[in-house]
Amino acid sequence: MRKLILIPGNKLRLLHCGSDYFSSLLEEIAQAHSEIYLETYIFSDDAISLQVRDALIAAATRGVQVRVIIDWIGSGDRRSQLLMHEFAMGGVECRCFNPWFKRGLARTHRKIVVIDQSVALLGGLNIIDDYVADDGSGLILAFPRWDFAVTVQGALLAHIHLEVEAQWLRLGKLALTTRVKLIRELRKQLIVKSHQPMLAALVVRDNLRNRSTIQRAYLHALGMARKRAILANPYFAPGRKLRNALISAAARGVDVTLIIGVGQFALQDAITHSFYPKLLQHGVKIVEYRKTQLHAKVAVIDDEWATVGSSNFDGLSLFVNQEANVVIRDQGFARDLSEHLEQGIKDGITVAAEDYANHPWYRRFWYGTAYLMYRGLMRIATLGGYT
């Protein structure tokens, strides 16, 4: 596993929900003059997605090299085929990640855009209207999906560009010698001059050199926590190590709060509820976010360590899929994100231990059964890695 190295010389700006993200994305695409890489799990067909599609085609028309990676499961087979055709007609290069599971179970769940090697956008937002449910139901949300991303400038940008460029190359036809050279390039410690002070690191998860990088980043941060940790995630079903890290932090007196998305998938909710008794017993606070669909994958620890990215707290994100987070050590950035998380706590419902105890026995039995089924499937999918 590549060591997590926080490098100075960065400027990061927090983007909250689609209103921030898509306005920034469309503005940067409109100003692009040489190169655009865009990698996403979902590329939908709603109004905002078509606006992004048309902006990418317009950039290609004026001579910008535009390369798009979409996931076959996330976007769907029919949508993927149509997008690839539309992009090809408009001069945009497009590749589909792992169609028909030809390369195993892994999906690209990353959401990364790099433009002109001068700015990147990275986080949890797919190319989909954030007033439309992202589960394929077409449900219109009362409030925009709660999610975050960042814009990145400075030294870290070279790392992000190299990563998304390598992903593009891996999806093409590469000779063995070229693949070896690519791996060596990815292992290099890039040094880029910048006058920005912010410390940041790109943390990716794949099934080769970075199998547990994102989880280890969380484990290290929780292990060093002394005052408070707020973590928001839509799908909570981590392995034992991360669950124990949350409990250990709470046992040391750290104020640990989990903001968890509920109400979207009944099976996921049941699995998540199976963890509540032990977490609550050991002092971990749980807040269920029900105002709208929670899609954020963010955390703030001790008002100085923060992360924003694509990785959920479940077996698929932590042990199977390709993911990308940014870790930031900066009090100003952490304070900005903390304000949003505090609002999320206010908008949520705090779970008490007695609430779970009052659930009928058959519901608690279902929670445990759902977890056992999930654990069995994840152990198969991860070859025993999920525990």
What amino acid positions are annotated as catalytic residues? 109, 111, 116, 295, 297, 302
Amino acid at residue number 141: L
Q: Are 152 and 119 in contact (CB under 8 A)?
A: yes
Q: Tell me how far CA of residue 39 lies from CA of 82, 166, 233, 237, 298, in angstroms.
A: 17, 12, 21, 25, 19
Residue 25 identity: L
C-alpha span between 340 and 14 (Å, rounded): 10
Closest CA to 296 of 157, 135, 144: 144
User: How big is the chain by its Cα radius of gyration, in Å?
Assistant: 20
Q: Could you tell me whether strands 35-40 and 65-71 are parallel, antiparallel, or unpaired per DSSP bridges?
A: parallel
Strand partners, 68: 38, 94
Beta strand spans in the chain (E): 7-16, 35-40, 65-71, 93-97, 112-115, 119-123, 148-154, 198-205, 228-233, 255-261, 285-289, 298-301, 305-309, 323-329, 349-351
Residues 38, 278: Cα–Cα separation, whole Å:
41
d(CA 318, CA 380): 14
